[in-house]
Amino acid sequence: MTSFSSLGVAEPLCRALAAENYTQPTPIQEKAIPAILAGNDLLGIAQTGTGKTAAFAVPLLQKLAASNVQPGQRGVRALILAPTRELAVQIAQSIKSYSRHLKLRQATVLGGVKINPQIAALRPGVDILIATPGRLLDLLKQNQVHLNAVTTLVVDEADRMLDMGFIRDIRRIVSLTPKARQTMLFSATMPAEVAVLIGDILKNPERVEVAPQATPAELIEQYVHFVNTTAKRDLLVKLLRDPAFARVMVFSRTKHGADRIAGQLVKANLNAEALHGGKSQSARQRALDSFRTGKAPILVATDIAARGIDVSGVTHVINFDLPNVPEDYVHRIGRTARAGATGIAISFCDGGERNQLRDIERKMRFKINVVGETPQETYNPAADTRQDERRFAPKKRRFGQSNQRRRAA
Ligand code: AMP
């Protein structure tokens, strides 16, 4: 059995990992840690959930601790770029726990919160800076930070950076770092623009590719309800009253929709929080913390806000509406069945969403099971001009079975 110490990880880090209950390196850690310790650039093709944060953070921390260089005023030794605020906070929390036995200064800069505390944190210089691109560029423009002392650069979720329009910002930031640096880039997919970026910023990278722990079709039970738009709300409340729905993420396509759904659930005496990009950073963090601690067992989120979020024990993902992009479906349902657990994903599909469903099924090469309390109640084929009934074999009612278990909440 491979251990962290057999990969060359030093004792204070091994101790911190043991305290996190990381008994054994994950496949990406096994490959990436020795490569990074040896000084190579790294291209990691991996998703959240594979252990990629520790794969880059552990060797990075070890190298920083081993060379006792000072970053200098407003300087940074290792820069980690993340596409979303939530991911940046998550990385910062992981790094804090991995480095608990090391004397390293870290700071996080992200948009949506006050800039002055960030300026103060950067002034003496930091060993590790975790940043979202927009706020970092603001701080660079104001000369509150410089990147001349950067020896290590990590670009996390490069494909998400592209989706969110950050690739130019990344290039600008990278151009401000010294050429003689070690660079690691992670991406779950490889769109052309990311491939070009890789060619420009990595030098002879070691390529480490890990398949997602399991494809969704293997670990996640997936169901679709055909339901008219107006009946979605009642169906949602009905499902959520089932105690088996213990920790649930509900996805909405729009911010407005997320707020509306959360409001309706609260009115129905269900404890729900909304998470979307229109909320302040502190409100987003509060919503996420309530969900994580179980104070609010239901989180209604938009796709962007939910990127990279790692909350364990999500029993169900409900797609209140279907995403336009099939990749987002895969990403959404991946919030359940984390770390090898099983999970259930339920999608609501109204007459106007049949094309999206077809695209998703094509992408997954998998036909999603159809369920419904009674088809008449939840889906009116006569009202659906785009029906394509033959594709779906009638399926046994599944959630109907939980009627006996359903108690008034
Ligand atoms: P990541 O892909 O970095 O977001 O990590 C996904 C989850 O796996 C996080 O909750 C980590 O704390 C956890 N994790 C990472 N590495 C290990 C490991 N070697 N053993 C057990 N859990 C791990």
Q: Is 105 within the bounds of a domain?
A: yes
Residue nearest atom 16 of ligand 1, based on CA coordinates: 51
Whether residues 354 and 284 share a domain: the answer is yes
Residue 384 pLDDT:
44
pLDDT at 338: 64
Residue 409 included in any domain: no
CA distance 60 to 41: 12
Question: Of 168, 188, 209, which closes a domain?
Answer: 209
Give, rounded to a whole angstrom, the gap between the first and last alpha carbons of the chain. 47
Ligand 1 centroid to Cα of residue 334, in Å, is: 15
From the number of C-beta atoms within 10 Å of its C-beta (0-12, 13-18, 19+), residue 105 rates as middle
* Whether the predicted pLDDT of 387 surpasses 70: no
Residue 222 CB less than 6 A away from ligand 1: no
Q: For residue 265, what are its two tokens?
A: 């659930």
What is the rounded distance in angstroms from the CA atom of residue 346 to the CA atom of residue 260? 19
Beta-strand pair 206-209/106-109: unpaired
Per-residue confidence (pLDDT) for residue 328, from 0 to 100? 85
Is 329 part of any domain? yes
Bigger pLDDT: 339 vs 188: 188
Chain centroid to Cα 381, Å, comes to 36
40-57 mean pLDDT: 92
Same domain, 57 and 181: yes
**Of residues 262 and 331, more confidently modeled:** 262
pLDDT at 319 over 50: yes
Mean pLDDT of the chain: 87
Q: Is 213 in the pocket of ligand 1 (CB under 6 A)?
A: no
Single-letter residue type at 273? E
Residue 340 has what pLDDT? Answer: 59
What is the distance between the alpha carbons of residues 289 and 315, in angstroms, rounded to a whole number? Answer: 17
pLDDT digits (tens, 9 = 90+) for 283-292: 998 999 999 9
- 281 and 333 part of one domain: yes
Q: Is 48 in the pocket of ligand 1 (CB under 6 A)?
A: yes
**CATH number where 119 lies:** 3.40.50.300
Residue nearest to atom 18 of ligand 1 (CA): 22
- Do 205 and 224 sit in the same domain of this protein? no
Cα 68-82-21 angle, rounded to 5 deg: 70
Q: What is the band of 341 on the pLDDT scale with cuts at 50, 70, 90?
A: low
Question: Are 357 and 379 spatial neighbours (Cβ–Cβ below 8 Å)?
Answer: no
Domain count, the chain: 2
152 and 229 assigned to the same domain: no
Q: Which is higher by pLDDT, 333 or 98?
A: 98
Stretch 335-340: mean pLDDT:
70
Region of poorest pLDDT, from 11-15, 48-52, 131-135, 240-244: 48-52
pLDDT of residue 215: 57
- Give residue 389's pLDDT band: very low, low, confident or very high (50, 70, 90): very low
Q: Is the CB–ligand 1 distance for residue 26 below 6 Å?
A: yes
Backbone angles phi, psi at 170, to 5 degrees: -60, -45
Residue bearing the CA closest to ligand 1, atom 20: 22
Q: Is residue 310 lining ligand 1, measured as CB closer than 6 Å?
A: yes
Percent of the chain at pLDDT > 90 equals 69
Residue 50, domain member (yes or no): yes
Q: Best mutation site among 53, 56, 186 for ligand 1, i.e. most ligand atoms within 8 A of its Cβ? A: 53
In this predicted model, what pLDDT tens digit does every residue of 231-272 receive, in sequence order? 999 999 999 999 999 999 999 999 999 999 999 999 999 999
Q: How many CA atoms lie within 13 A of 209 on its CB side?
A: 4
**Domain final residue, candidates 178, 209, 240:** 209
Q: Is residue 51 in contact with ligand 1, taking CB distance under 6 Å?
A: yes
Q: What pLDDT, on a 0 to 100 scale, did the predictor assign at position 371? A: 87
Based on the fold, state whether residues 225 and 151 are members of the same structural domain.
Answer: no
Give the pLDDT band of residue 168 (cuts 50, 70, 90): very high
- Closest C-alpha to ligand 1, atom 13: 51
The residue-averaged pLDDT of 93-115 equals 96
| Number of CB atoms found within 10 A of residue 313's CB | 13
**Residue 224: per-residue pLDDT:** 95
| Secondary structure, 3-state, the chain | CCCCHHHCCCHHHHHHHHHCCCCCCCHHHHHHHHHHHCCCCEEEECCCCCCHHHHHHHHHHHHHHHCCCCCCCCCEEEEEECCCHHHHHHHHHHHHHHCCCCCCCEEEECCCCCCHHHHHHHCCCEEEEEECHHHHHHHHHCCCCCCCCCCEEEECCHHHHHHCCCHHHHHHHHHCCCCCCEEEEEECCCCHHHHHHHHHHCCCCEEEECCCCCCHHHHEEEEEEECCHHHHHHHHHHHHCCCCCCCEEEECCCHHHHHHHHHHHHHCCCCEEEECCCCCHHHHHHHHHHHHHCCCCEEEECHHHHCCCCCCCCCEEEECCCCCCHHHHHHHHCCCCHHHCCEEEEEEECHHHHHHHHHHHHHHCCCCEEECCCHHHHCCHHHCCCCCHHHCCCCCCCHHHHHCCCCCC
Q: Domain check: are 225 and 313 in the same one?
A: yes
Mutation to probe ligand 1, out of 4, 7, 13, 22 (largest number of atoms < 8 A from CB): 22
Cβ of residue 392 lying under 6 Å from some atom of ligand 1? no
pLDDT at position 118 over 50: yes
Q: Among 68-72, 247-251, 255-259, 389-393, name the one with the lowest average pLDDT.
A: 389-393
Per-residue confidence at 364, pLDDT binned at 50, 70, 90?
confident
pLDDT at 397: 36
pLDDT band at 115 (very low <50, low <70, confident <90, very high): very high
Confidence label for 377 from pLDDT (cuts 50, 70 and 90): very low
Tell me the C-alpha distance between 327 and 184, whole Å. Answer: 24
For position 401, what pLDDT does the model report?
34
Indicate whether 229 and 105 sit together in one domain.
no
The per-residue pLDDT for 379 is 39
> Is residue 163 very low, low, confident or very high in pLDDT (cuts 50, 70, 90)?
confident
Share of the chain above pLDDT 70, in %: 87
Does 47 share its domain with 189?
Answer: yes
Evaluate if residue 145 carries a pLDDT over 90: yes
Check residue 48 and give its pLDDT: 77
Closest CA to 227 of 94, 107, 384: 384
Q: Is the pLDDT of residue 305 over 80?
A: no
pLDDT at 375: 40
Residue 140 has pLDDT above 80, yes or no: yes
How big is the CA angle at 262 (ends 157 and 399), to the nearest 5 degrees?
A: 90
- Tell whether 170 and 42 lie within a shared domain: yes
- Is the Cβ atom of 326 under 6 angstroms away from ligand 1? no
For residue 193, tell me if it sits in a domain: yes
Instruction: Give yes or no for residue 53 CB within 6 A of ligand 1.
Output: yes
Is 225 touching ligand 1 by the criterion CB < 6 Å? no
Q: pLDDT tens across 181-224, in order? A: 999 999 988 888 999 999 999 999 999 988 654 455 567 899 99
- Last residue in a domain, options 154, 176, 209: 209
Q: What is the mean pLDDT of residues 372-389?
A: 43
Residue 141 lies in a domain: yes
| 240 and 308 inside one domain | yes
Q: How is residue 181 written in tokens? A: 């640096």
Give residue 343's pLDDT band: very low, low, confident or very high (50, 70, 90): confident
Q: Residue 109 sits in which domain range?
A: 5-209
| Sign of the CA dihedral running 158, 160, 161, 163 | positive
Asked whether 32 and 54 are in contact (CB, 8 A), the reply is no
Q: The dihedral of CA 374, 377, 381, 387: what is its sign?
A: negative
Question: In terms of domains, do 160 and 266 share one?
Answer: no
Angle at 148 between CA 147 and CA 153, to 5 degrees: 55
101 domain residue, yes or no: yes
In a domain, 246, yes or no: yes
Residue 47 near ligand 1, beta carbon < 6 Å: no
